[in-house]
Amino acid sequence: MLFKSRHIFYIVLFCLSSNCLATEQQLKISKKSSMFGAALKGEIDVRKDRGVLYRKHADLGVRVNTPIDGLMLGVNYRRVYTLAEVGWLVENRPYIQLEQKVKSNNKLDWRFRLRQEFRYREEKENSQRSRFRVKLKLPHQLFNAKPFLSNEYFYDLTSHKLSQARIEAGLTFQQFKDVVPRLAFKVTGKQKSQWQTSSAIVLSIAF
């Protein structure tokens, strides 16, 4: 089983540098630590579309437990760079979020996350956006890894409409030394003049 797991991992790594599974490739590197009972997390994210780097961001935040069992409060700041004709446009995005963890009797691990974003953007109108995500971690292993599914909706509070929807499915592999790799396939729909859909292979590396 470990043999199959490694080969799947190598195949998807190859696909990250091509368009064999999706038009977009995404790499996420994150680091967690703790201080005074709070969880600290930093993240770097880069994304390519048909081999061209078009988006990148850096994120730093803190998570604290609340009096409600399994409920965590998060406060983050994200700096986003998006490629445009005039060059890289910057977005400053502070946000707050609540995430509730629920484990059912059949050992299913549910995560419900509500996020409120404040988007200060170059060359665009500033806006606010709400995001709601449901994530399910399955207890049974597949190819020596744990499967997960997630579904997220984005609601633009400025234009008062659903602006984006996302479905993601993937595998979280066993920790190797201090590294936890994860592979996922993501489909995103965005509302512009009409709904446009894109797909991406996502490699996440957590320390």
Q: For residue 66, what pLDDT band results from cuts at 50, 70 and 90?
A: very high
Element (H, E) at 9: helix 2-16
Residue 38's DSSP bridge partners are: 35
Q: For residue 21, what pLDDT band results from cuts at 50, 70 and 90?
A: low
Mean pLDDT of 121-145: 93
Mean pLDDT of 64-86: 96
User: Which residue from 16, 46, 51 is spatially nearest to 28, judged by alpha carbons?
Assistant: 46
Q: What is the rounded CA–CA span in Å between residue 48 and residue 94?
A: 24
A 10 A CB-CB count for 18 gives: 12
- Interior/surface letters 147-181, b for 16+ CB within 10 angstroms, e for the rest: bbebebebebeeeeeebbbbebebbbbeeeeeebb
C-alpha 99, offset from chain centre: 14
Tell me which of 10-19, 47-56, 74-83 is least confident.
Answer: 10-19
Average per-residue pLDDT in the chain? 90
Q: What is the rounded CA–CA span in Å between residue 50 and residue 23?
A: 5
Residue 36 has pLDDT above 60, yes or no: yes
Residue 2 has pLDDT above 50, yes or no: no
Q: For residue 13, what pLDDT band results from cuts at 50, 70 and 90?
A: low
